[in-house]
Amino acid sequence: MRWPSNGISPSRIGVLRKCQLPPPAWVQAYALTAWGYEAEPIFQVLGRWAVRSPLHDPTRPLSAVSTMLSLRTMLRPDRAPLTMTVAFRFPGSAFVGRLSAAGLAIERGDSDAVDVAFETETTTTFVGLVYGGLSFDEAEAAGALRLIGDRGIAARFIGCFALPDKIEADTA
C-alpha cells in the first residue's frame, strides 16, 4: 500500500505502529496504537448501522480478523454479566477472547487455559453459530465444528451477540 505523496503515514501520525507477527507468519505488519484504538467506537457504530441494510447478507464469508471485530461490535449491551476466556481457532488463525462486564478483549494467539474453544473449518461456520442460528449439533454433524469445553458456557457466550434488526426497505 502506498501512502499519499505528502509523506504522512498513519504510523508517523501515531495511529499505527510497526510490529512483527508471531510464527508461522514472521512478517512485518501494523497494529493500532492506543490512540488508534480510540477510534474503534466510531467504526462499531458504522458497522451496526451497515448490517441493518436489507441488502446485508450475514452468511457472506468474513476474514478471521473481521469475524473477531464483529464480535466486539455486536456484543449485546443487555447481556448477562459473564466472565470467561474463549479460544477461536480457524485454519491459519487463532485468537483468545476475554469476556467481562467491561466488554470483550481479543488478541491473536492460542491458549489451552480457556473455558471453551471453538475450532471451525471456516469463519463462515463460526459466524453461522453466532449470528445465523446454526446449532452446535448441526455444525458438529457436518464436521465443521469441534467444540472443546462446556457446551452450556459456549451457548451462553454465543447468546452475548446479536445483529441489529434490519431496516424496512423504502419502496417509495
Question: Do 70 and 102 share a domain, yes or no?
Answer: yes
Q: Provide the residue-wise pLDDT of the chain in tens; the chain has 172 residues.
A: 555 556 666 667 788 888 887 777 788 888 888 898 899 889 999 999 999 999 998 888 899 999 999 999 999 999 988 999 999 999 999 999 999 999 999 999 999 999 999 999 999 999 999 999 999 999 999 999 999 999 999 999 999 999 999 998 776 5
Is position 168 within any domain? Answer: no
Question: Do 82 and 144 share a domain, yes or no?
Answer: yes
Question: Do 30 and 100 share a domain, yes or no?
Answer: no
Question: Do 46 and 85 share a domain, yes or no?
Answer: no
Is position 81 within any domain? Answer: yes
- Look up the domain containing 69 and give its range: 57-158
Question: Do 41 and 99 share a domain, yes or no?
Answer: no
Is position 4 within any domain? Answer: no
Question: Do 61 and 40 share a domain, yes or no?
Answer: no
Q: Distance between CA 21 and CA 168 in Å, rounded?
A: 43
Nearest CA-CA partner of 123 in 162, 94, 100: 94
Q: How many domains in the chain? A: 2
Q: Which residue has the cell 434490519?
A: 166
Residue 113, domain CATH? 3.30.1050.10
DSSP labels, 51-112: TTSTT--TTS---HHHHHHHHHHHB-TTPPP--EEEEEEETTEEEEEEEETTEEEEEES--S
- Given a contact cutoff of 8 angstroms between Cβ atoms, the answer to whether 55 and 166 are in contact is no
Instruction: Enter the pTM of the model.
Output: 0.82
Question: Do 16 and 97 share a domain, yes or no?
Answer: no
Question: Do 93 and 17 share a domain, yes or no?
Answer: no
Give the 3-state secondary structure of residue 116: strand
Give the 3-state secondary structure of residue 30: strand
